[in-house]
Amino acid sequence: MHNVTPFLWFNNQAEEAMTFYTSVFKDSEITSINRVGDKVFGGSFRIEDRHFHTLNGGPMYQFTPAISLYVNCETQAEVDELWDKLTANGGEPGKCGWLKDKYGLSWQIIPSALTRLMSDKDAKKANQVVQAMLQMGKIDIQALQDAYNR
């Protein structure tokens, strides 16, 4: 069986980023830090059951929104907490639940209610939800529900 693991390339902030990500997510830990002499080469960390590898590879590659990390949230409190932590200290809020953290990595902070409401068999209601979502940065579950109920 294969194990597909995201591999994140940083200029020289791999250890800092691993520390940041494991502070944002509750069930997480740094699992290894690889050093060459006294310099950090990279390492590994875990968020819940997903493992990540990191590398301090230099400035030649940067993150783009072409790939993002999708986080499914059950409550507005989860959405708010993750949004606030990931956009802090240089992160950038985006549209439709997307944001960039201070390292330039794109995230989607999406409540399960969005998927449920957008998938409704009533096309008019589902479209009302989509139209509401398109106006949002951080997703607001109550606003989605209000759009659904119109």
Q: How far apart are CA 26 and CA 6, in angstroms?
A: 19
Residue 83 burial (CB count, 10 A): 21
pLDDT in tens, 56-68: 999 999 999 999 9
80-118 tens-digit pLDDT: 999 999 999 999 999 999 999 999 999 999 999 999 999
The residue segments making up the domain with residue 49 are: 1-59
* 140 and 85 in a common domain: yes
According to the model, what pLDDT value does residue 144 have? 98
In angstroms, the CA 33 to CA 10 distance is 14
- Report how many domains make up the chain: 2
Q: Residue 140 is part of a domain; what is its CATH number?
A: 3.10.180.10
pTM: 0.94
Residues 55 and 67 occupy one common structural domain = no
- Rg (the chain; Cα; Å): 18
Decide: helix, strand or coil at residue 24: helix
What pLDDT was estimated at residue 119? 96
Nearest-angstrom CA–CA distance, 52 and 43: 8
